[in-house]
Structure 1
Amino acid sequence: MEQCGACRAPEPYEGPEGVHPLDQLSPQEVSRATACTRAHAAALGVPGALRFNTVMLQEPAKRDLLAFYNGRGARPPRRAVVWVLNPPHGHLFEGIVDLPSAGGGDRMLRWKLLEGVQPTTTPDDNVLAEEIILADKRVMDMVAERYGITDPNLIIFDPWTLHGTPPGYEGRRLMQGFLYVRKCKDDNEYAHPLDLLPLVDLNLGKVINIECYDKPAKIPPTLVNYHADLANGTTGTGWRSDLRPIDITQPEGPSFTVEGTLVKWQKWQVRLGFTPREGLVLHNVGWQEEGGRVRPILHRASLVEMAVPYGDPNQPYVRKCAFDVGDYGMGFTANSLELGCDCVGHIKYFDGVVNNAKGEPLVIRNAICLHEEDAGMLWKHTDTRLNRVEVRRNRRLVVSQVSTFANYEYAMYWNFYIDGTMSLEMKLTGILSTTYRPLEEKPGNVPFGIDVAPGVIATNHQHLFCVRLDPSIDCAEGGKDLVVSEVNADMLPLGPGNPRGNAFQVNETPLLSVHAAMRDAAPFRSRAWKVKNPAVINPITGQPVGFKLLPTHSTPMLMQPESLVAKRAFFATKHLFVTPHDDEQVFPAGDHVVQSEDCLGLKIWTKEDKPLAGADPVIWHSFGITHLPRLEDFPIMPVEVVGFTFKPWGFHKWNPTLDLPPTRNAASKEDVQAAASAPKLPRPRM
């Protein structure tokens, strides 16, 4: 199979100082970008102090990257995108800073006032909101009057962005807060929700409204804890004593190699990136054939948005909906992963670089984890005539990141398998966001949720994710030749061609325009979507090489089309969108989603029914889960897993695992006593 566009390896090695054009900004580059921004703002006479929101790499245009990779263009320059506020004036500016690789000569290339939008609420914004709340005399007086609590150290404020700005507050940078109380330092505050909801103006630095029930309520008293120092008090049974260690060992080290941010494992190659908004990003995913030729698969892939709408229609909870990627940032909220806890085995870590409100760089140690793990059986067959068994173990390379958004954790796992399959798993865990219920009410009969403790309700909600996939199947000149099609398995009607009614066939339909490519999943038809390259034909199948996107979770949005959620989270109204590639189109709900009243991205980009033929298609895949909380999810939630699979479909000449040697794990041991007592069964005849 020949590649289109006279393909070469996806990219040359890094340039000066080992920095690749797609590597995240270094701490030094963040400092240079913010210094340049301060100087530029001062020269323009921008009033007020600057509050830096986001400083991140401006990725080179795809066209320039491809020219560089293929030796036809210069090395793309290093540039930073800077979003900066100047409260209390409420202005948001966007700057593009040129950062010459030699250092010095930094300059502002573009400076723009952005009107009518609010940027991400960073960790510093969340801390600021809590400080404002806890320092507000009116709030503390109400807490003392209603609950008898005078120690502000026991009050916990969960900051949330607003989903729907109350009338009269338009144009202000606001955060709402759900209040909780702790009985002691490590107590689980979500077991003790209060019925006060303050509203904070971040630019003015003050509380501007407080919502509450008409009469004082009692604090839910039950202790429901997960912290190691308190959990035994909840269960009353003590720690389990019958768990024995399971150790993951690789005495010869891992099978992957790392060159800067380029990872090579088996026949996979992938470059890892990191942004404050998306967190982990995959670049230049490819498969290496014999002779060293690397066949491109994905130019770029990342989680670009998610919406978590809650199903309670009552005030103020109707405003409860988080767009976690756009509202808070997967990178800003990334955890520093712990060896032997978050990841086990032989681990390689990568740091993440973000910024604080002062414009200083912050390094998140061990933000990304890389490891390989056993993945069960790959394939097996017993030839009963020869009495011979052939079996191969599967393994996968895992690239992961975990982010914390107040009560919830989202763990992102990109998996690469030995047979050329890749997948994304999102693991949801953390703590349910709870609300107050009067203690005098009997449990049960909660129309929009469930009781998880006396006086404590967990509301029904959804987690709706969106990934952006920029495919490059066997083509290093971009994806202009690629075609996205829909594949359905359909039963045939009874008739001369199907007299016994057992026949079904596969129907494939090319999606040739933007509107035609707005599609829903259909599990009853085994619906999937194929990305194929008609310029490269598989010699065995006679069909274009390709990969198939297999939706494994197809939860639809349960909110009405006229709802604010459906307007803002337009990406979640369908499971598939396909658009022509555009470097500026990355975030489907918009570059700035905080307090938005409509979709500022995908709805606009798909308004015109543009043709997709020759358009370098970009895939937007939405998937999710409807979370109907259960008692067992509290006080800590065992993981729920959602995701999808991206599987080779006629991409290889034959099964790519035939060269795997037979292996036997020498560390495995048999329980001899159990084996001796087991009955011997006759071997079945085949």
Structure 2
Amino acid sequence: MTGPRLSKRAAPHPLDPLSAEEVVAAANICRAYVVEKGLEPHRFNTITVTEPTKAEQLAFERDGKYPTRMASVIMTKPPKSYPIELELNLEEGSVVSYKTVEGVQVAIIYDDFYEFGETLFKADEKLQALCKDFGIESMDEVAIDTWPIHPVDHELGSVHRMFMGLMYWRSSEFDNQYAHPLPWVPIMDVEARKVVRIETAWKGQPPFPKMNGNYDHRLLEGPPRADIKPLDIVQPEGPSFTVDGNLIKWQKWQIRVSFNWREGLVLHNVGYEDEGRLRPIMHRASIAEMAVPYAEAQEPHHRRLAFDLGDVGIGQLTNSLELGCDCLGHIHYFDAVLNNSKGEPYVIKKAICVHEEDAGIIWKHTELRTMHPEVRRGRKLVISFIATVANYEYGFYWHFGQDGAIQHEVKLTGEVSTTLASPEDAEDPRFGTLVLPNVLAAHHQHLFCARLDMAVDDEEGGRGLVVSEARPLFAPFSLYHVDTVALPEKDNKWGMSFMKQETDLTNEAKAARVVDPTKARFWKIKNPAKKHVYSGHAASYKLIPANTQLLLGLPGSTTFERAGFAAKSLWVTPYDDAERYPGGDYPLQNVKTGGLSEWTKQARPIASGNDPVVWHVFGATHLVRPEDFPVMPVETVGFHLKPVSFFKQNPAVDLPRTVNKASKLAGSCCTANGHANGTANGHSNGHTNGYTNGHAEE
């Protein structure tokens, strides 16, 4: 059947997210369809663009042939909450497919936090009575965080949609609720729309923590620091980047961005201009999943394992950024268009930030014979967004350097999730830290998985894929595991020789690897078809991991079964359009999530010609400190991608010589006798003359 079509307008790029108009059109198509089929009522979960298949996208880049504009819609049929998947043809106004997925639950959407946490949980009479006995007269003083349930005991599985509430007291609207945890954890049956049980680990009446733990400037007891002077980022001629639609050009980089409810920011078609041509580096890159398991196993807190992307969707929880606070300098923002449960579009203004940052010295050398220095300061382009997931903030930052390097960084901040300490934890808890008397912050992990669909110098057929009926996808990449090792004693006469040891990863089941800093381990994505003119090695990018811990859930546990992707640092799979999420499509309350740990059991080949996709797991094990409360200083995790035999030489060697004329001497510290004499005596006039001569024209 056909429904309302999208009005005629300029064709969007195939990778562009849906506009507000397209969200409305998609919702109307769905409404018309369910009315005609007698399937009402339905509730909208998510409406998002259907990205073209890789073959379609490459054909578009090669031939300019637009793929059909499609949308993916997930709905539910209340009171049930299993997903109903619809594929829509927006150009024809038609439903291409309608499929019910039994035995799983749709993700929590933004509306759920208010409908359940702020309304249905608080409306429960038993919960109201418990609060009143505790001295809380009004439920307006209560804050409830709606959490997904980790079905660790299999009792609360995926048949019925269940939420749990973590409860707190607030003395006022701006009071930090996490300083006042309450002892109860109510369990909500979403389909019945009622609290079915109220759990507590306590016997008897627990103490009520009322000590303030505020960070809001309106409630701080003392004045803020008064000795900080302004530090301005000034770009009088504007930024060095340009934006055309969703395409960003900066220095020699080109990056296309998109945004969706689940992953948030996605990068596409990342390339670097070199010797007159744009050389591809990545086809698509995103953070595809995140698991947050907690160490506290005392009931009822044993059910805390959140998949912040699959359970909720990091895109839905994205902040509207504030100019001059979240990003500094000359900023370009991208808005994000999402949908509510009625299928109506809403806009997160300033969801993605693009700006430049000083990156310190990118290279320097002083010729000792003449004392002439050549130094260049680097700059980086930063593309970022920040999301608030209940108590935590996550800032996701992609950094692009003038030397062709890419860095991904996640900044963790916000609030630690607190519970009321049990009597045995009142002095020295094993699984967390007391941040206030009787207030326990449990240790936990944040485990991220990046999905990197690489395109290292892969030019043929658009992005290097040969598209044909016989072999629709082909790419020449190979994956190598690289360690640095000492030579055996028999080959190492002086005991000082070491070399790199490369292992070709040819099978996805055997390619799963872990970080080993003792061997300076990294992984290399090679394009054997492109050889470096001097080294003779294949053009490559290396993935440099940080030294981060993996999943601590024991093999055989529900935690390990659900978050198995986080048991390895590296996974490699052959490209499959359907394999997008390492924790499975529907992880909410789902014990059998599928995903990477299941896909790789197929032991498919990933040798050159199978278009391998790289999955990298990294993260933080957070042993909570008292200094992480009342609000947590930023903790940073991430990884690097660096070129190896990709460029003929240092691609940043052509940076112009500049001196920042806004820089000034701070007081007299640089003219003190000790510093001045030491500089004069230690470096003589050669340094002064060399520097002066080298920069005189500037």
Question: Would you call these one fold, judging by a TM-score over 0.5?
Answer: yes
Any idea what SS the aligned residue of 2:292 has? Answer: strand
- Report the equivalent of 1:129: 116
Query: AA paired with 1:154?
Result: E
Alpha-carbon distance between aligned partners in 2 of 1:599 and 1:442, rounded to the nearest angstrom: 34
The AA in structure 2 aligned to 1:63 is A
Task: State which of 228, 242, 251 in structure 2 corresponds to 1:257.
Answer: 242
Check whether the contact 1:553–1:624 (CA below 8 A) recurs between aligned residues. Answer: no
Task: Percent identity, please.
Answer: 45
Write the mapping of 1:184-583 to structure 2, written as runs, cut at 5 A: 184-212=172-200, 213-231=202-220, 233=221, 236=222, 238-291=223-276, 293-437=277-421, 443-475=426-458, 476-478=463-465, 480-495=475-490, 497-583=491-577
Which deviates the most, 550-559 or 465-474? 550-559
> Equivalent residue of 2:182, what SS?
coil
Task: Tell me how far apart the structure 2 counterparts of residues 166 and 43 of structure 1 sit (CA, whole Å).
Answer: 42
Return the alpha-carbon distance in structure 2 between the equivalents of residues 577 and 167 of structure 1. Answer: 28
* Contact 1:444 1:450 (8 Å CA) reproduced: no
The residue type equivalent to 1:248 in the other structure is: I
User: Deviation at 1:67?
Assistant: 1.0
Change (3 A) 1:403 1:84: same
* Alignment of structure 1 residues 596-635 onto 2, 5 Å: 596-613=590-607, 614-635=609-630
Shift of 1:204: 2.0
1:63 matched to 2:44: no
Aligned to 2:138: 151
Alignment of 1:79-118 (within 5 A): 79-100=70-91, 105-118=92-105
Question: In the alignment, is the contact (CA less than 8 A) between 1:538 and 1:544 conserved in 2?
Answer: yes
Residue in structure 1 matched with residue 161 of structure 2 by the alignment: 173
Q: 8 Å contact 2:585–2:593 — kept in the other structure?
A: no
The range that moved more, 122-131 or 392-401, is 122-131
Q: Compared with structure 1, are the counterparts of its residues 389 and 274 closer, same or farther at alpha carbon in structure 2 (3 Å cutoff)?
A: same
C-alpha distance in 1 between matches for 2:606 and 2:154: 41
Distance of 2:13 and 2:395 partners within structure 1: 27
User: Could you tell me how far apart the structure 2 residues matched to 1:215 and 1:337 are?
Assistant: 45
1:593 paired to 2:593: no
Cross-structure match for 1:655: 650
Which structure 2 residue ranges, 5 or more long, are not aligned? 1-7, 466-473, 687-698
CA distance in 2, matches of 1:516, 1:393: 42
Query: Counterpart amino acid of 1:279?
Result: G
After superposition, the Cα gap between the structure-2 partners of 1:667 and 1:515, relative to the gap in structure 1 and judged at 3 Å, is same
> 2:46 maps to what in 1?
54
One-letter amino acid of the counterpart of residue 650, structure 2 = N
For 1:41 and 1:208, the matched residues in 2 are separated by 32
Alpha-carbon separation, structure 2, partners of 1:504 and 1:290:
34
How many pairs align? 658
Amino acid at match of 2:170: R
Change (3 A) 1:509 1:165: closer
Whether the 8 Å contact between 1:286 and 1:294 is mirrored in structure 2 is yes
SS at match of 1:577: strand
Q: Of 155, 161, 171, which aligns to 2:148?
A: 161
CA distance in structure 2 between the aligned counterparts of 1:594 and 1:459, rounded to whole angstroms: 22
Q: Secondary structure of the residue that 2:316 maps to in structure 1?
A: coil
Shift of 1:304: 0.4
Aligned-partner Cα distance in 1 for 2:28–2:126: 39
**Given that residues 125 and 202 in structure 1 are in contact (C-alpha distance below 8 angstroms), is that contact kept between their aligned partners in structure 2?**
no
* Aligned partner of residue 332 in structure 1, secondary structure: helix
Equivalent-residue separation in structure 2 for 1:148 and 1:672 (angstroms)? 58
* 8 Å CA contact retained: 2:82, 2:105: no
CA contact (8 A) 1:553 1:642 kept: no
AA paired with 2:247?
L
Q: Separation in 2 of the partners of 1:404 and 1:608?
A: 37
Distance between the aligned counterparts of 2:587 and 2:425, measured in 1?
A: 39
Deviations 1:13-52 (A, max 9, x none): xx962611000000111111111111111222214x3211
Which residue matches 2:692?
none
Residues of 2 paired with 1:678 and 1:400: CA distance?
45
Task: Select the residue among 14, 34, 41 that pairs with 2:34.
Answer: 41
Shift of 1:572: 0.5
Indicate how the Cα distance of structure 1 residues 181 and 227 shifts in structure 2: closer, same or farther if over 3 A, else same.
Answer: same
Query: Using the alignment, how far apart are the partners of 2:245 and 2:166 within structure 1?
Result: 43
Three-state SS of the structure 2 residue aligned to 1:645 is: strand
Q: In the TM superposition, what is the alpha-carbon distance from 1:384 to its structure 2 partner?
A: 1.9
Aligned residues of 1:396 and 1:416 also touching (Cα < 8 A): yes
| Map of 2:3 onto structure 1 | none
Contact 1:309 1:322 (C-alpha < 8 Å) held by counterparts: yes
Helix, strand or coil: the match of 1:516?
A: helix
Partners of 1:168 and 1:142 in 2: how far apart? 25
Q: CA deviation at 1:198?
A: 0.4
- The TM-score normalised by the length of structure 1 is 0.94
Partner Cα distance (1:441, 1:498) in 2: 57
- State the Cα deviation string for residues 566-604 of structure 1 (Å, max 9, x = none): 111111110000000001110011111100103321122
2:591 and 2:450 mapped to 1: Cα distance? 22
CA shift, 1:678, in A, is 3.9
The structure-2 alpha-carbon separation of the partners of 1:354 and 1:384, relative to structure 1 and needing over 3 Å to count, comes to same
Instruction: Give the whole-Å Cα distance in 2 for the aligned partners of 1:91 and 1:45.
Output: 18
What residue is the counterpart of 2:638 in the other structure? 643
Structure 2 counterpart of 1:623, which letter? F
